[in-house]
Amino acid sequence: MKHFKAIAAMSLNRVIGAGNAIPWHLPEDFKWFKKATMGNVVVMGRKTFESIGKPLPNRKNLVLTRHPQRLIKSHPEIFGGYHEWRGGKFLKRAYQFHFTKLEGKSATDILIFKSLDKLDPAEFPNDIFICGGAEIYAQALPRCSDLYLTLVKREIEGGDAFFPPFEDKFELVEELRDEPEFKILHYRHKNLRQ
Ligand SMILES: NC(=O)c1ccc[n+]([C@@H]2O[C@H](COP(=O)([O-])OP(=O)(O)OC[C@H]3O[C@@H](n4cnc5c(N)ncnc54)[C@H](OP(=O)(O)O)[C@@H]3O)[C@@H](O)[C@H]2O)c1
């Protein structure tokens, strides 16, 4: 059975965000995130999507919101540049809106889903990465077979978004990198296998 994968970065005191932004700038970690997710599906909550301000290129961007029309209408600067699809096999299922933009040979897609429950990883040919924020991690982690967690080696004051507890359900399988400012850890769910 196919499951989600999660990718996240948290501080030593579990902060992942402050004021709807990521409170550190680690270009090497961004490079890792880009490499891991490129060509795959990235799933994010509406607040994370708005904080990035545009879809991540050359990936399928799956945005979760309970108010799709509100999201589309409030961001003409994003959605105006995209071609909207209607119909297709997914229409009967969870998502209501599908936008595509062709960039050279590759496409950047935005799919808007109203429900995480109806999202089935098996419907997509490639990996589906849960990319935050806190609300989405909390709901999706029980359905993730793998967690790629960047541990930022500092304490962050004033954080308002936190990574949920996961340690009892996941086990560490590999330390992928250890840098002065962060390490990248690969955890696997104890009961879910890809
Ligand atoms: N460090 C990291 O790795 C990382 C990664 C990503 C984000 N972040 C940070 O995390 C923070 C944002 O996290 P957050 O928890 O505030 O917001 P979020 O998880 O990004 O988005 C929450 C929104 O998602 C929608 N949503 C939630 N559950 C849903 C469901 N089951 N079905 C449909 N829609 C659903 C709702 O949108 P509507 O209100 O529109 O209905 C909700 O308001 C920011 O500070 C961001 O920078 C950090």
CA atoms within 13 A on the CB side of 24: 22
127 and 59 in contact (C-beta within 8 Å)? Answer: no
The answer on pLDDT for 86 being more than 70 is no
- Quickly state the pLDDT bin for 11 (edges 50, 70, 90): very high
**What is the pTM assigned to this prediction?**
0.94
CA of 132 to the centre of ligand 1 (A): 6
**Residue 69 CB-density burial (10 A; 0-12 exposed, 13-18 middle, 19+ buried):** exposed
> For residue 85, is it within any domain?
yes
Q: Give, using CA atoms, the residue closest to atom 32 of ligand 1.
A: 115
Mutate-to-test residue for ligand 1 from 32, 48, 93, 96, highest number of ligand atoms within 8 A of CB: 48
Non-local CB neighbours of 146 within 8 Å, separated by 6+ positions: 3, 5, 6, 186, 187, 188, 189, 194
For residue range 144-162, list pLDDT tens digits in order.
Answer: 999 999 999 999 999 999 9
CA distance linking residue 180 with residue 142, whole number of Å: 31
Cβ of 149 closer than 6 Å to ligand 1, yes or no, is: no
Which pLDDT score is estimated for 94?
52
Buried b (16+ CB within 10 A) or exposed e, 158-173: ebebbbbebeebbeee
- Quickly state the pLDDT bin for 93 (edges 50, 70, 90): low
Non-local CB neighbours of 110 within 8 Å, separated by 6+ positions: 55, 61, 62, 63, 78, 79, 82, 97, 98, 99, 100
Q: Which of 9-13, 124-128, 163-167, 182-186 has the lowest mean pLDDT?
A: 124-128
Domains: count for the chain: 1
Q: Output the average pLDDT for the chain.
A: 91
**Domain containing residue 37: CATH number:** 3.40.430.10
CA of 104 to the centre of ligand 1 (A): 30
Identify which of 130, 160, 8 has the alpha carbon closest to the alpha carbon of residue 63.
130
Mutate-to-test residue for ligand 1 from 15, 64, 149, highest number of ligand atoms within 8 A of CB: 64
Query: Is omega for the bond preceding 39 within 30 degrees of 0, making it cis?
Result: no
CA distance linking residue 50 with residue 93, whole number of Å: 24
Q: What is the dihedral of CA 18, 9, 13, 152, to 10 degrees?
A: -110
Range of the domain at 68: 4-189
CA of 65 to the centre of ligand 1 (A): 9
Q: Which of 23-32, 47-56, 75-84 has the lowest mean pLDDT?
A: 75-84
> For residue 78, is it within any domain?
yes
> For residue 30, is it within any domain?
yes
> For residue 194, is it within any domain?
no
Cβ of 43 closer than 6 Å to ligand 1, yes or no, is: no
Cβ of 161 closer than 6 Å to ligand 1, yes or no, is: yes
